[in-house]
């Protein structure tokens, strides 16, 4: 039975690396995969999934208005798809999460979504909220805080390395903009003046 999986973590936990490795494993065995990435994330170039350790792959960039079920159904009709991978899944809309659930339920194709659970203010992203609600399996990818405890939160930094406490939920960036912390140290950073 195909399932909708959601692997979530703070920044720099290796989500994209895990996605690329899993897709490679399918392809190595002659199976076709589809990799999707939110079009808003162009850090590695539009339509590219890239990891901090240097792995990358072409992907299909999706926007909020795209019907992912229809897109995948058309591709599947052209040639069997063994698995669908989604990077930056926090940027999915709630409807797109349901479209991916239909891919698993009706097309019987496993869907593995990878993304952040919360933003820099500790709030759920819309896509993550829906995935946490309806995914068949939830998987936490772990990384560590500077103290050695499990990091579950992310803080956004300004150009001087100071923690930003307000602003738009989405601001694309990597190590230069975000730092992962355990809940205790994130709260310390967010509360200090």
Mind telling me the catalytic residues?
88
> What's the CA gap between 86 and 109, in Å, rounded?
13
Residue 131: phi, psi to the nearest 5?
Answer: -65, -40
Beta strand residue intervals within 124-184, DSSP E: 137-140, 143-144, 150-151, 153-157, 163-164, 178-181
Contact between 92 and 132 (Cβ < 8 Å): no
Determine the 3-state secondary structure of 22 from DSSP: helix
CB count within 10 Å of CB 21 equals 12
Residue closest to 118 by CA, chosen among 151, 152, 165: 152
């Amino acid at each position: 039975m195909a399932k909708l999986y959601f692997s979530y973590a703070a920044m720099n936990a290796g989500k994209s690396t895990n996605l690329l490795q899993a897709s490679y494993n399918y392809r190595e065995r002659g199976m076709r995969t589809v990799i999707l990435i939110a079009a808003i994330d162009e850090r590695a170039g539009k339509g590219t999934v890239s990891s901090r350790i240097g792995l990358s792959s072409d992907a299909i960039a999706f926007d909020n208005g795209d019907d992912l079920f229809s897109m995948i159904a058309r591709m599947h009709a052209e040639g069997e798809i063994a698995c669908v991978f989604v990077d930056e899944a926090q940027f999915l809309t709630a409807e797109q999460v349901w479209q991916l659930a239909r891919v698993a339920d009706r097309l019987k194709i496993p869907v593995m979504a990878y993304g952040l659970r919360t933003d820099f203010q500790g709030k759920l992203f819309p896509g993550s909220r829906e995935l946490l609600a309806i995914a068949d399996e939830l998987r936490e990818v772990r990384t560590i805080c500077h103290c050695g405890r499990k990091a579950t939160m992310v803080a956004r930094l300004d150009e001087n390395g100071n923690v930003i406490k307000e602003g738009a939920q989405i601001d694309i960036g990597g190590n230069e903009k975000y730092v992962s912390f355990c809940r205790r140290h994130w709260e310390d950073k967010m509360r200090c003046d």
